[in-house]
Amino acid sequence: PQLAESAPPGLPEPRGRGSAMWAQRAGVLGWLLLLQTVPRAAGAQPCSPKYFGRDSMVCVCNATYCDTLDPVVLPSNEDVRGKGTLKGQAGDKYHKTWANYFIKFLDEYAKHNLTFWAVTAQNEPLAALLAHPQFPTIAFTAVQQRDFVAQDLGPALARSSHGTRLIIMDDQRIHLPAWAKAVLGNATAARYVAGVGVHWYLDSIVPASCSLEATHKLFPNHFLLYTEACSGFLTYRFSVSLGCWERGDRYSHSILTVLNHFVAGWTDWNLALDLQGGPNWVENYVDSPVIVDSSKDVFYKQPMFYHMGHFSKFIPEGSRRVGLHSSRRCLFCQLEHVALLRPDGAVVLVVLNRSAWDVPFGISDPAVGFIEAVAPASSIQTYLWRQQ
């Protein structure tokens, strides 16, 4: 497809977002709901329960039997919270035990018919060095993660019956492509890894071309997936901003940017939060596409919800990005866009206009024809057609 922007007659006056905002909310976000069920007891030997009334239970031990748990693996700071690394080195009993916890997690959930497509080796392994003192976290360098994957976690997952994929890094893209080189450059580690997880929080520091695209060119057989993003994390007093169009706008800007640089998907951090941006036990309050007001028994679908819907509703799994040639005729009329071919043969084009004025443009597909359209100020639009 081709997309051409036309200069409007004169430079239109900036106008409010209200009418354009509601006019463009055509998307319906398809949520992935993860139902979590925790077993009453899990460990090397389960609890032998005895009940004293409806809600009173003890675990019975005698001379021949007592319930036990696997040993808790503490980070090197002797606390499950705050900064720390695993004791020892890859291949030892601490790393084997930690790898086995992944399998135990998958085993216990499988008992309740809950399966997982993938796990990450560690959430923000380098951010763990700078973590809030109450965050439970473990730090890994790229080399440490490489060895842990190659000697412990990778083999443990491969031996299990779950078929769960492994994602490495799960941190900021400023670490790419160096992190990928360290882990995927090792043939043993690479064979256990399906892809690279990325968080969006420091995206403004390094261009996508120097990080994401560079990584894809080096390791084209491993996917790139944005595994975490949220708004409000730097504005404590305004973590939740109801109806904030700019936050939805930033979501679409990020999604369009990374899709155009070989990223396969983009994940919001939160399914739904309360009016404070929680609950969160360390008061890490942030915003969410869906905010619940339990006092009124209602929930609010925010602009972020509808921005995400333009992608999740119209770009199904298996879609492939296609070439799109943009011909600009107006210096100040920059549109952001991505075109994809869906598995059903339809073409989808998402267009974001972040400017404060309307932008006329045209869409040309040799297989179908040409149409003229207008992207209203501060709007997002999705175009869908079949090539027949």
Average pLDDT over residues 376-380: 95
Percent of the chain with pLDDT over 90: 68
pLDDT: which is higher, 14 or 133: 133
Count of C-beta atoms within a 10 Å radius of residue 385? 16
Whether the per-residue pLDDT at 208 is higher than 70: the answer is yes
Q: The tokens of 336 are what?
A: 């952001």
Sign of CA dihedral 157, 162, 163, 169: negative
pLDDT interval class at 129 (50, 70, 90)? confident
Catalytic residues: 124, 228
pLDDT, position 58: 59
Whether the per-residue pLDDT at 114 is higher than 90: the answer is yes
pLDDT, position 282: 86
Starting at the edge strand found earlier in the chain, the sheet holding 298-301 runs 273-274, 290-293, 298-301
Return the amino acid letter for 165.
Answer: R
Lowest mean pLDDT among 59-73, 76-90, 118-132, 224-238: 59-73
Q: Decide if 9 contacts 358 (C-beta within 8 A).
A: no
Beta strand pairing call for 2-5 and 325-328:
parallel
Whether the per-residue pLDDT at 42 is higher than 80: the answer is no
Provide the greatest CA pair distance for the chain. 90
Whether the per-residue pLDDT at 349 is higher than 60: the answer is yes
Lowest mean pLDDT among 72-76, 302-306, 370-374: 72-76
Q: How far is Cα 128 from Cα 155, in angstroms, rounded to an integer?
A: 25
pLDDT, position 165: 99
Lowest mean pLDDT among 58-72, 92-106, 182-196, 322-336: 58-72
pLDDT, position 130: 72
Average pLDDT over residues 253-281: 96
Out of 29-33, 73-77, 134-138, give the one with best mean pLDDT: 134-138
pLDDT, position 54: 59
Return the amino acid letter for 299.
Answer: F
pLDDT, position 48: 76
Domains (ranges, CATH) in the chain?
A: 1-27+316-388 (2.60.40.1180)
Lowest mean pLDDT among 41-55, 169-183, 249-263, 331-345: 41-55
Beta strand pairing call for 118-120 and 49-51:
unpaired
pLDDT, position 119: 99
pLDDT, position 74: 56
What is the chain's mean pLDDT, rounded?
Answer: 85
pLDDT interval class at 332 (50, 70, 90)? confident
pLDDT: which is higher, 16 or 388: 388
